[in-house]
Amino acid sequence: MMYKPIINALCLKALSLNQTYYFGFSDKGESLPLHDYNSSAWIAVSSYNYANDNNTTQANRFNYPNSKTKSFKLRTQKLAVRQLCYHLISELIKGLKFKPINALKIEVLKTHSIKLLEDSYPFRLLPFNYYVCFSHSDDMIACAIHKNLPIGIDLETNQISSLIAKRFYTKDENQWILGLSSKEQPVALKILWMLKEASIKLYNYKEANLISGLNKNLLIQAQHLMPEDIINIKKDLSIFHSNDKKSNIKSIQLENATYLYIASKNLVAIW
């Protein structure tokens, strides 16, 4: 299959990222500047475009799916999230302060030395050995990097139907949703879905156990991540909360895990 690298090059040339947002967080999920010394997790969210030009015609010469097919869409999403990862790394490197070296012609950092290990989960970023996770939904993409811990993220632009909830959500989760108002229900449905998808990525459920991963009860986490302008619940003082109203970000620490919700970007992260 010698044409694949050629197709990838054509796709990359036609891809462009738009309106990229960067977020930095402490281990507890507190919002921090991207280059803050205490930041240990970073997330980038962006949209992307694929220019439907002569590159598509060239791709078709190799009998590769065109830009209207689902397989081509998945491939461009895959390339787009990796491009976003490179952009996030570049932003992080900007904040590094290098000590001058008294030597000539020394190349301290080469971009080709940064390598993504993606043969198995969790993905790792060398030479830093950081953990990496990707997500995409339609033309939105996200990349998360954590210094020390595996991280799972999920980005969802589409609404989650009540039929999905009846099939995959637990009895307690469905009862909670039914008790919410018509304004609250779509938000709760989506938060729960993203929590489940991020949890599957984090804990590396095998394909055979995908259903059991979706059936994991994440009711408490969803309740505490619901935006306060939508719903108010009794706060559990044993759970650490962080609420950045300016950036529309909420996080909690529960059972030695951090759960984060960026409402404005329709994204959940767990580490």
**Average pLDDT for runs of 10 along the chain of length 271:** 45 82 96 94 95 51 53 87 94 71 48 80 91 96 97 97 95 97 96 96 74 88 85 53 78 95 97 97
Burial grade of 114 (CB within 10 A; 0-12, 13-18, 19 or more): middle
Q: Cβ(13)–Cβ(112) under 8 Å?
A: no
Rounded Cα distance between 195 and 105, Å, is 49
Domains and CATH numbers, the chain: 3-146 (no CATH), 152-270 (3.90.470)
Instruction: Give the H/E segment covering residue 21.
Output: strand 15-25
Give the pLDDT confidence of 3-60 residue by residue, as tens digits. 344 345 556 677 899 999 999 999 999 999 999 999 999 999 999 998 764 444 444 4
pLDDT on residue 250 = 96
pLDDT on residue 217 = 94
pLDDT on residue 244 = 74
pLDDT on residue 3 = 37
Q: Which long-range contacts (CB under 8 A, 24 or more apart) does 93-96 make?
A: 94/35, 95/34, 95/35
Provide the mean pLDDT of the chain. 83
pLDDT on residue 14 = 78
pTM of the model: 0.82
pLDDT on residue 9 = 55
The CA distances from residue 13 to 36, 49, 110, in Å, are 33, 11, 21
Q: At what angle do helices 3-14 and 54-61 cross, to 10 degrees?
A: 170
pLDDT on residue 75 = 86
